[in-house]
Amino acid sequence: MAPGTNGGVQSLQRAFDLLEGLADAGGEASLSELAATSGLPMPTIHRLIRTLVTLGYVRQHPNRRYALGSRLIRLGENAGRQFGTWARPLLAELVDEVGETANLAVLEHDEVVYVAQAPSRHSMRMFTEVGRRLLPHGTGVGKAMLSQMPQQDVRELLKRTGMPAYTPNTFRDPDLLLMHLAEIANRGYAIDESEQELGVRCIAVPVKGTPSPAAISISGPEGRLTDEIVQKVAPVVQRVAEAISDTLHARSTG
């Protein structure tokens, strides 16, 4: 049966359209804004939103605006953990090849969330707890993800999050960051120059074709990740990012 030919299927499709509309609006919108973006009649939106609120997938604010609900966060976290589980062997291969800690992160509700890690075997190595959340402007993986987004979307995200400094090297100016993101998009990888933690350098590459923005990285002490080493290992990180993307595509189509 084709989508939309059955009332139940059509209602389900429209409910997902409204959830996508809330996500595109930054996670919050009014009913009139949803009507404008979805093209659905207001009575239909009222009915679907009321059901989504009852189920916990949408919540209503006192000002009568609506936001994505906590049950979606749980689903997203579970999906992120699954993503991290099957990507971990590829991260381990990356560690074997470059010798530094490898991470996989996704963008969730304007935050970078680390969903998998393969540690370096060096006694002095970087460690980021799986599940840790950081703002994207101050991390290599975050900058790699932002480099794939339209500039206006990045500006709106930065307005929502602000640009607090993790270190003196963290970008604080949105215009400078946007220029930097254009360089990252052209080069194909981001470098974190002690922007999240002093003394730590990171090379990050976006993973394309994922349901939500994602990126992988390697990180290590500045003394080991010299400019010469960065030039050598960046193509390796790019190759593994492509392998993760290809694996995801094969799983979704096979």
pLDDT tens-digit map of 78-129: 666 667 777 889 999 999 999 999 999 999 889 999 989 998 887 776 767 7
Domains of the chain: 7-68 (1.10.10.10), 73-253 (3.30.450.40)
Q: CA-based angle 228:229:233, to the nearest 5?
A: 130
| Of 85, 131, 88, 128, nearest in space to 106 by CA | 131
pLDDT tens-digit map of 46-76: 999 999 989 888 888 888 898 877 676 566 6
pLDDT tens-digit map of 10-30: 888 898 889 888 877 767 889
pLDDT tens-digit map of 122-162: 777 676 778 889 999 999 999 999 999 999 999 999 999 99
CA–CA gap between residue 191 and residue 168 (Å, rounded) = 16
Its sign, for the CA torsion 31, 36, 41, 44, is negative
CA–CA gap between residue 71 and residue 54 (Å, rounded) = 11
pLDDT tens-digit map of 203-222: 999 998 877 789 999 999 99
